[in-house]
Structure 1
Amino acid sequence: MRIHALPPQLVNQIAAGEVVERPSSVVKELVENCFDAGASQVSVEIEQGGARLIKIRDNGCGIDKDDLPLALSRHATSKIQSLQDLEQVATMGFRGEALPSISSVSRLSLISRVADADCAWRVQADGSEQELDPQPDPHPLGTTIEVCDLFYNTPARRKFLKAEKTEFTHIDTLFKRMALSRFDIAFELKHNQREVFNFKKAVTPAEQEQRVAHIFGAAFLENSVAIDFNASGMHLYGWVSLPTFSRSQQDMQYFYVNGRLIKDRLVTHAIKQAYQDVLYHGRHPVYVLYLVLDPGLVDVNAHPQKLEVRFREGRSVHDFLYKALHRCLADVRPQTQEIEEASAVEVSRPDVQQVADFQPLPANVSRPVIRQNYQPAAAPRQSSLPLNVDAQIDAYTRLVAPGKVAEVQEPRVAELPKSETAPALGYAVAHLHDVYILSETQNGIILVDAHAAHERVTYEQFKSQYHQGAVPSQPLLLPVQIQVSSREADLADDQQAFFMSLGFELNRMGEEIIVVRAIPALLSGVDITVLIKDVLADIIEHGMSQRIEEQSNEILSSIACHGSVRANRRLSVPEMNALLREMEKTERSGQCNHGRPTWVELSKKELDKLFLRGQ
């Protein structure tokens, strides 16, 4: 067949295949236009899951009468003027394809009024590309778009729509995500004339937390940490859940870049790395995070639906996110608190299934306290450890600090006197079942898993000792040759300084061969070939790798686990108090090395409720 130009309607329908996947895609595109119009109120009405009607109204700046027909034309936009604008996109929409693509697969009505106009103007389109003649309409300032009978002229697309409940579930999820992207805007959602959400503007921090609580549930805020971190021209803020408050799915992870909701592998990897030492296996954290950076450093033109972005300095963004979250989680530790009074904010309850999936332990963890000039103490150790574990620890301590840590003694601390301001974890009262420490605090009582807590304390001390000096290296009797691709060999050659800082000595021997001559002493039992290949793959994918650190930490964690107090070993009161004081100054002391909680608290109010006191 001869080459020929496609009809305009068919061109728009092809574009619609990229932009309009389902009714929720229409809602996303149109609500983002409301954001760009400077709206402070957005109302969304849905009928039959969006297949019958999608109506979106805002009170933004509106569209001029003469621009209405142009707004429904392809590649027409008010948001970019030149290539330079495209490289620094500061708006939510910019392609100029959403409205014509939507109108090509539906019956669309667009009504808009600008501030200085005598009346509003209406245009209607059905994808036929006919001449659009604006008609007057008594509409207030702003814009209303009605999308009726979605995919009415493309039966193949319409039959792939799911049931009404399923399609509305997608809209409901999207609406929550967009409501959390802009606290300065009021949102309303109706489905089949029934109000589903009605969010007022959230200006103050308390109002913002209330909106988050309506969407995520009040339990999330009670078990989360607020983060606000600035560095290298980037700003990260929001809320992240404590490691003990997790989910089995990744469905409650909201991340925004310059107000745009995105899904990005680099971001996900950085957050996962920050939680790696404290999250229980198979669980996923909950977070609402906002990253603000120069628009020129992020390419939002990487995906037709603008769900993915490309960072121009990916490694810098990854390091920034990892360090911010890692520091935030590390600084969450017990602190002295005043006796709490009942002052809960009234918020709507999440679904029962949603609550059941959360693991909110401990239920009342205090907010972060940053300790300055903390020097880790020597790790307590039992003399009754198995012989091979003793040998491991002795070899490790000689390796890291020869002549300094010859023997670590079991703590012999006198019982601390009680004072007016008791420590955060209180004072030990008893050792229950030779497993749990019962401690009395100003607010109530605390139960501590002695083994899990001691395991975390010992692990953090080992890590600190290991990273304080140069990493001890061990020459190999027989160098290991590794077959790699030419790209990986080039990378290994360029990154020799990086590998040397981690205790490796490697050289390139050919086009696709590298030779490892020395390894970190702590990794003597690890498969070096697999490790080096995985590290190179990580650097290619993410611009960096933490596999070597993970392997080292895994071994240190194992040593700490074996070197910690065991269940069924009776602890004295001084020993229990010594462990509580170490927990108070140890990073990540709320979880053991495997992500299990180390302590839980019952307040006086909760104890009174158990025994019906005051009722």
Structure 2
Amino acid sequence: MPIHILDDAVASQIAAGEVIERPASVVKELVENALDAGARQVEIRILEAGRRLIEVTDDGCGISSAELALAVARHATSKLQSAADLFQITTLGFRGEALASIASVSRLTLTSRTTDSAVGGRIRVEGGKVAPLEAAGGPPGTLVRVEDLFYNVPARLKFLKRDLTERQQIDGLVTRYALAYPHVRFHLYHDGRPTLQTSGKGDRREVLANLYGVDVARQMLEVDYQDGRLSVTGFISPVALTRSNRRELTFFVNGRWVQDASLSAALLQAYHTLLMVGRFPIAALFITLPPDAVDVNVHPAKAEVRFRDQDGVFSGVSRAARRASRAKTQLRTFFTSSTPSQKPSAPPPAFWSRRTT
């Protein structure tokens, strides 16, 4: 076969394959767009595990009608101006690929209105082909409908797992973002049934209870560590509360969910000699660093990062987890050594009273 240039449709589907692997990938990109837009409420509606419909609505700043066609074009973004900006990224998205990639493998409808516009706009894209812009009403914010995902890539459709697995992937993703952004209200529906509803009041334990149940959320140890420019907050489980795999180790770096082996190793080092072989803790840790200390442009799906000071971050995460665990141990020792009359008594937080009555 002679060398030739791929046509735009094939090139777009190849590019989409690096970013959009399954329905949860679509949800991730759309939720991140909503958060970047300053949304305080994000609603996600799923039909047939995302195969038939993924709909994400937010109350963010919206997109002007004049820019809607540009929003679904490849490499179009409002978040970068120059290559130097790649090392000062403060947003979740920055490549300008998400909407174009999704639109190339689905039937996408984008409706949006800014707060200073009386009327919004709507644009439809089917398999990468853009229809004319239409006027549309609606509240300020953005609504994205993704229908018939992978309808034009049947091979990719065949590789999707059963509906239960795909739903679990979506549930896990949305719940983790709800943990990272507790001041945002998240509502998730599967086939019309509510799966997750958070209050947006900033209470991470409330979201932990949705993810793991009230009993587990109650036992989790709070992490709050600061060392210079590094901040580590979140929750880890006590030694008695473990899992048989690493799937419950969740890390966010500057608001971005990442999968990083060094962060997992740093956390596990804090539990060194305390856990049985083959057992792993539960953790949700949120690491904050200056943007120039993290390189986020290393993975097509932005799921990996590189740290400028890898050793410093490693030791900081490990130290933060050890301090949280040590504080719990000291508190338990104090209670055990106290007489019954000396033991402080305090009512449980109002949240737990609400959940258990």
- The two structures have a TM-score, normalised by structure 1, of 0.54
What amino acid maps onto 2:79 in structure 1? K
Q: Which residue of 2 aligns with 1:264?
A: 260
SS at match of 1:272: helix
Q: Determine if the alignment matches structure 1 residue 252 to structure 2 residue 257.
A: no
Question: Where does residue 50 of structure 1 map in the other structure?
Answer: 50
Secondary structure of the residue aligned to 2:302 is coil
Q: What is the CA distance between 1:271 and its match in structure 2?
A: 0.7
Tell me the residue number matched to 2:272: 276
Report if the CA contact (8 A) 1:214-1:348 is conserved.
no
Task: Describe how 1:80-479 pairs up with structure 2 within 5 A.
Answer: 80-130=80-130, 132-203=131-202, 207-331=203-327, 332-333=329-330, 334-336=333-335, 338-340=343-345, 343=348, 345-346=352-353
| Amino acid in the other structure paired with 1:148 | E
The 1-side partners of 2:37 and 2:260 are apart by: 27
Deviations 1:461-512, CA, capped at 9 Å, x for gaps = xxxxxxxxxxxxxxxxxxxxxxxxxxxxxxxxxxxxxxxxxxxxxxxxxxxx
Alpha-carbon separation, structure 2, partners of 1:70 and 1:319: 44
Distance 1:235 1:50, change over 3 A: same
Could you tell me how far 1:148 is from its partner in structure 2?
0.3
Q: Name the amino acid aligned to 1:68.
A: L
CA distance in 1, matches of 2:354, 2:233: 22
Q: 1:335/1:88 Cα in 2 relative to 1: closer, same or farther (>3 Å)?
A: same
SS at structure 2 position matched to 1:145: strand
In the alignment of these two chains, the number of paired residues is: 345
Which AA in structure 1 matches 2:307? Answer: F
- Residue type of the partner of 1:307? A
Residues 252-300 of structure 1: CA distance to partner in whole angstroms, max 9, x if unpaired?
Answer: 2211111111110110111111110322222111111111111111111
Deviation string for 1:103-146 (max 9, x for gaps)? Answer: 0110000000011112110000012434x421011111000000
CA distance in 2, matches of 1:34, 1:128: 22
Distance 1:272 1:13, change over 3 A: same
Change (3 A) 1:87 1:160: same
d(CA) in 1 for partners of 2:347, 2:118:
54
- Aligned counterparts of 2:123 and 2:273: Cα–Cα separation in 1: 57
Residue in 2 aligned with 1:6? 6
CA–CA separation in structure 2 for the residues paired with 1:46 and 1:348: 26
CA shift at 1:95, angstroms? 1.0
Distance 1:261 1:128, change over 3 A: closer
Structural mapping, 1:494-573, within 5 Å: none
- Determine if contact 2:196/2:210 at 8 Å carries over to the other structure: no
Q: Which letter does structure 1 place at the counterpart of 2:100?
A: P
Contact 1:213 1:348 survives alignment (8 Å): no
The answer (yes or no) to whether the contact 2:233–2:285 under 8 Å persists in 1 is yes
Relative CO higher for 1 or 2, CA cutoff 8 Å, sep ≥ 6? 2
CA distance in 1, matches of 2:132, 2:126: 13
**Partner SS for 1:62:** coil
Deviations 1:372-422 (A, max 9, x none): xxxxxxxxxxxxxxxxxxxxxxxxxxxxxxxxxxxxxxxxxxxxxxxxxxx
Whether contact under 8 Å (1:243, 1:280) holds in the other structure is no
Which consecutive residues of structure 1, in runs of 5 or more, have no partner in the other structure?
Answer: 350-615
Deviation at 1:249, TM superposition (A): 2.0
Per the alignment, residue 338 of structure 2 pairs with none
Shift of 1:3: 4.0
Give the 3 Å change call, closer, same or farther, for CA 195–224 of structure 1 in structure 2. Answer: closer
Distance in 1, matches of 2:219 and 2:55, equals: 37
CA displacement at 1:208 relative to structure 2: 2.8
Cα distance change, pair 246–128 in 1 and its aligned pair in 2 (3 A): closer
**Partner residue of 1:76?**
76
1:241 CA drift (Å): 1.1
Shift of 1:4: 3.3
Aligned to 1:497: none
CA offset at residue 175 of structure 1? 1.2
Q: CA deviation at 1:63?
A: 0.5
Identity %: 41
C-alpha distance in structure 1 between counterparts of 2:132 and 2:159, whole Å: 34
Question: Which residue pairs with 1:60 in the alignment?
Answer: 60
Question: Displacement, 1:191?
Answer: 0.8
TM-score of the pair, normalised by structure 2: 0.92
| Alpha carbons 2:26, 2:102 under 8 Å: kept | yes
- What is residue 37 of structure 2 aligned with on the other side? 37
Deviation at 1:245, TM superposition (A): 1.4
CA apart distance, 1:224: 2.6
Q: Find the residue that maps to 1:170 and give its secondary structure.
A: helix
Give the deviation of 1:2 after TM superposition.
Answer: 4.7
Deviation at 1:158, TM superposition (A): 1.1
CA change 1:183–1:94 in 2 (3 A) is same
Deviates more, 1:270-279 or 1:331-340: 331-340
Deviation at 1:172, TM superposition (A): 1.0
Distance 1:152 1:347, change over 3 A: farther
Moved more, 13-22 or 325-334: 325-334
* Local SS of the residue matching 2:129: coil
Post-superposition shift, 1:327?
2.9
CA contact (8 A) 2:45 2:56 kept: yes
* Residue 12 of structure 1, CA deviation: 1.1
Q: Could you report, residue by residue, the CA deviation over 1:3-34 in whole angstroms, capped at 9, with x for unpaired residues?
A: 43322221111111101100000000010000
The RMSD of aligned alpha carbons is: 1.7
User: Would the aligned equivalents of 2:79 and 2:93 in 1 still touch at CA under 8 Å?
Assistant: yes
What SS does the corresponding residue of 1:73 show, helix, strand or coil?
coil
CA-CA distance at 1:35 after TM superposition: 0.4
| Shift, 1:329, TM fit | 2.2
Unpaired runs of at least 5, structure 2: 336-341
Tell me what 1:475 maps to: none
